[in-house]
Amino acid sequence: MLKRKWDETRIRRILLVLSVLFGHFFVFTLAFTRFILYQLSTLLFISKPNQMAFTIFCFGIIYPNQVLSISFLCPLLLQLVSYFCTEHKWIVQKMILIGLMFIYFKKVNLISLLFFNIFRKLYGLIFLFGFTVYDLIHLKLPDLTIHYAPKILFIVLFIIFYIQCLKHFQWKYLCIFIVPFLEIYCNPFFQVYTLNIGQADCSIIVEPFHKSVVMIDCGQNLYRDNVERIIMPFLENKNIHAIDTLILTHDDFDHNGGYESLKDKIEIKQVIEDSNDKVNVDYPFYLLLSEREAKDTNDSSIISYFTYDHFTYLFMGDASKQIEKQLMATYDLKADVVKVGHHGSNTSSDSDFLDSLDCKIALISAGYKNKYGHPSVETLKTLETLHINTLCTSDCGSIAIYSLFHLSFLVTNDGMFGIIWT
């Protein structure tokens, strides 16, 4: 309507004044600031490159920590496509949007993406007449959402794809979007994760090339939904969409409390609650001491013992010193990494038992300043005396161990990095 009465320069001046007033009385969001800077640049410069350079420069000065935010980056990249790309602009723009949504949101709803313009007008009408019409309209769109958390390979290829499309679009460039379906099967490392879920337990073991996923426990807390807040986001970030085997060590809320919630959110192919069951993986994975003398639920904990890349792991659940003595009497166990029993309580981690394992790393899952005092001073002193490097989730956050052939290294959330030698 404005273009019918005034020229474009006058309209941009009016928009600039109205935008500044709107931001002054309400809020200058990142996207809104970029819009104002671009309107200003069109009044100061004639050429598109100068306009975009001015917008980028000023935005970088005002928000130096936000130059990679999607509020700024997305419209900028689409604007460059509109200016430089000479063919198939619509396709290139959609591909860029898909890539950005994967990178920033780790998911893409194809229905919303492809029919965005239609939905924008429809939602605009609903907004305008919302007080009378909104309750009468119930839209249920088909769920065609693709979940994918990009790694460095996809990000590098996406940058190359974008630059090439600005020069000259070719259909072969679209092969970049095969990467999300292949990248997950290209990881050669054996991965063992101990998640920081407070005073509870959850560990995830991923076989190279995504051949299998084993989860040991999925504990809950009374003050937080660990499945919703920690476990599922972690699985989505690792592009894990199914669990081959879930081992519930014993019937305690901090070990199996998240099972009901977890099974509704992700496919679980096998659930093990008995030491006599077999874990369906191709590498040596044993559930020890199926026959034992147990005085309580903790002593009935399933004990996992597995080996990969010449590294051996022992996960004790909440088993006590009594069970540790039965293990010594039954097996000749050696372990490079041990997840000590009962969150580091003094009821577990017998000195003779730990010494017989000849282990290098001890993992403890415990909540920060938990009411039980885990891990106990006694256990920590025992581990120190035996020169066993100890990592506790309450101190360093989640712990990840990666191995490839004879090389193994660990990384923690607080930035610790270490190499484990056989």
Segments making up each domain of the chain, as ranges: 1-83, 188-420
Report the sign of the C-alpha dihedral through residues 18, 24, 25, 30, in that order.
positive
Cα 295–chain centre separation: 39
Residue 19 in tokens: 């935008």
User: Measured between alpha carbons, how far is 79 from 77 in angstroms, rounded to an integer?
Assistant: 5
Contacts (Cβ under 8 Å, ≥6 apart) of 169: 85, 87, 88, 91, 92
Domain boundaries 188-420, corresponding CATH code: 3.60.15.10
Q: Mean pLDDT per segment of 10 residues, for the chain of length 422 residues?
A: 81 88 89 89 89 92 92 89 84 90 90 79 70 52 80 89 87 84 87 96 96 96 92 93 96 95 95 94 95 92 95 96 96 96 95 95 94 94 95 96 92 92 72
Sheet holding 417-420, edge to edge: 271-272, 245-247, 213-216, 203-206, 190-194, 399-404, 407-412, 417-420
pLDDT at 120: 73
User: Measured between alpha carbons, how far is 201 from 190 in angstroms, rounded to an integer?
Assistant: 20
Contacts (Cβ under 8 Å, ≥6 apart) of 171: none
Report the sign of the C-alpha dihedral through residues 128, 22, 38, 64, in that order.
negative
Residue 71: what residue type?
S
Give the phi and the psi of residue 174 in degrees, each rounded to 5.
-70, -10
Q: Alpha carbon of 84 to those of 43, 55, 162, 165: distances in Å? A: 21, 17, 11, 9
Residue 209 in tokens: 């090339």
CA neighbours closer than 13 Å in the CB half-sphere of residue 382: 20
Q: Please write down the long-range contacts of 79-82, taking CB distance under 8 Å and 24 or more positions apart.
A: 79/52, 80/52, 80/166, 81/165, 81/166
Q: Alpha carbon of 349 to those of 111, 133, 325, 335, 395: distances in Å? A: 54, 65, 10, 14, 19
pLDDT at 141: 61
pLDDT at 134: 47
Task: Report helix, strand or coil for 89.
Answer: helix
pLDDT at 140: 59
- Report which secondary-structure segment, H or E, holds 9: helix 8-25
